[in-house]
Amino acid sequence: MTPQSPAHQNSSLDAALLECRERYAAKRPQSAALNREAIKVLPGGNTRTVLAYAPFPTAMARGEGCRLWDVDDNTYLDLCGEYTAGLFGHSDSRIRAALHDALARGLSLAAVGEAEQRFARILCSRFRSIDMIRFTNSGTEANLIALSVAQVVTGRSRIIAFRGGYHGSLLYYPATGSSPITAPFPVTLCDYNDTDGTVAAIRSAAGELAAVIVEPMLGSGGCIAAEPTFLAAIAEAARGVGAISIFDEVMTSRMSEGGLQERLGILPDMTTLGKYIGGGMSFGAFGGRRDIMELFVSKVPHAGTFNNNVMSMAAGITAMGEVFTAAEAADLFALGEGLRDELNVMSDKAGAPLQFCGLGSLATAHFRRDQINRPYAITPREEALKELFFFDMLNAGVYIARRGMTALSLPTTERDLVQFKTAVSDFLDARAPLLR
């Protein structure tokens, strides 16, 4: 086994990972103790699969601005950004004031109020494809209902989705294999960014196709952006066969005042929203063409105890009406583009098999050099490097998603990002022998 041989590299990688996990555990005795108790009542010790990883997940105690403190009092720059729902950071004073004000007026009023129509007006005026909107409590629910109403409108049942697409816990189409709890829509899966293949699939399913659902950038699938021509072609092909195009902008709506669709100038029939739009409270929404949405006037029932809950409405009005302005959206996009460019230049210079895919304030680290335009089957070595990267970032005080994703929040400044750039640069130096 020579030092350069793949077998030698793999055993060095295993050793490095072992050391990282031990170092991680040693710095987090309280997180470990919490996990030991949690697994007795929560399967896997959590109630949200994305937060589970070996040897045990870091438990957070509090957050402020773009900083987090874990239960062992380790401090982090928060670049996980609550998987994009934490756009406002942890303590925006305007959102807090709105929540205090709503609390003072009482919870659970069991009635319509002024708040939901104000919030609806704000969102309809921001998203050009949304003439009318309805609220839910999660992005999952929003997508389930958007797909279901597309079935009602068209009188057809089949949907087209994409390998690697994630539209919620019941609408997950992994790049390889399948989820055992996917909602039972008859689905045809296509390859992301495969324009010809998708247009052909749309045409061949024409008579039975209700909807095509697509993320304008795959979020949990690796921050892989759609080619604008691909998005435009599928929206047009769907229209051509009388099917409904649904852009799932649960993650990507942050890319401009009116979402990624506005930035690209490509509008779908329906749009789904979620994550940060409720100002940090639970949120989901679906909206679109007036003729579709008016089905909810009498033909289609849509209930949900918490759809207009006072906290989400109050926080959302302030978040989207005052805080996340068009200018803030543009600045955040530019901050993220600059960061990703710098990280990619660094990785290139180091000759490392590492690239950061994404758009604006969202990015994911991929441990391969080839251009990536769709999800792929990750190799064990890539997975090990991803884990090593995660632990090295945590050790440098930078909290990122275990899958290598980063989502910037509004309180984050260029100065804060120096810590991340230094951590990546140190990773490239320290791990150079494993990255060759």
Q: Rounded to the nearest whole angstrom, what is the least distance from the CB of residue 252 to ligand PLP in the complex?
A: 7
Which of 163, 167, 340, 374 touches ligand PLP (CB under 6 A)? 167
Identify the DSSP state of 434: H
Total residues contacting ligand PLP (rule CB under 6 A)? Answer: 16
Should residue 248 be labelled a site residue for ligand PLP when binding is judged by CB under 6 A? Answer: yes
Question: How far is 364 from 163, CA to CA, in rounded Å?
Answer: 17
Amino acid in the structure at residue 47: T
Q: How many helices (H) and strands (E) does the chain have?
A: 15, 18
Pairing of strands 187-190, 165-166: unpaired
Should residue 316 be labelled a site residue for ligand PLP when binding is judged by CB under 6 A? Answer: no
Q: Rounded to the nearest whole angstrom, what is the least distance from the CB of residue 137 to ligand PLP in the complex?
A: 8
Nearer to ligand PLP, 92 or 215 (CB): 215
Q: Rounded to the nearest whole angstrom, what is the least distance from the CB of residue 282 to ligand PLP in the complex?
A: 7
The residue written with tokens 């909290």 in the block is 399
Degrees (nearest 5) of the Cα angle 8, 175, 249? Answer: 125
Nearer to ligand PLP, 217 or 423 (CB): 217
Which of 57, 219, 268, 279 touches ligand PLP (CB under 6 A)? 219
Question: How far is 185 from 339, CA to CA, in rounded Å?
Answer: 39
Q: How far is CA 176 from CA 98, 99, 181, 189, 378, in A?
A: 44, 42, 15, 11, 9
Question: How far is 263 from 280, CA to CA, in rounded Å?
Answer: 24
Candidates 138-146, 176-184, 359-367, 418-426 — which segment interacts with ligand PLP by CB under 6 A? 138-146
Should residue 250 be labelled a site residue for ligand PLP when binding is judged by CB under 6 A? Answer: yes
Candidates 103-111, 121-129, 244-252, 381-389 — which segment interacts with ligand PLP by CB under 6 A? 244-252
Which of 220, 312, 355, 361 touches ligand PLP (CB under 6 A)? 220
Closest CA relative to residue 55, chosen from 37, 75, 29, 32: 32
Beta carbons of 52 and 44 less than 8 angstroms apart = yes
Q: Rounded to the nearest whole angstrom, what is the least distance from the CB of residue 121 to ligand PLP in the complex?
A: 23
Candidates 22-30, 72-80, 132-140, 182-190 — which segment interacts with ligand PLP by CB under 6 A? 132-140
Beta carbons of 151 and 177 less than 8 angstroms apart = no
Should residue 274 be labelled a site residue for ligand PLP when binding is judged by CB under 6 A? Answer: yes
- Residues forming the site for ligand PLP (CB under 6 A): 83, 138-140, 143, 166-168, 215, 219-220, 248, 250-251, 274, 284
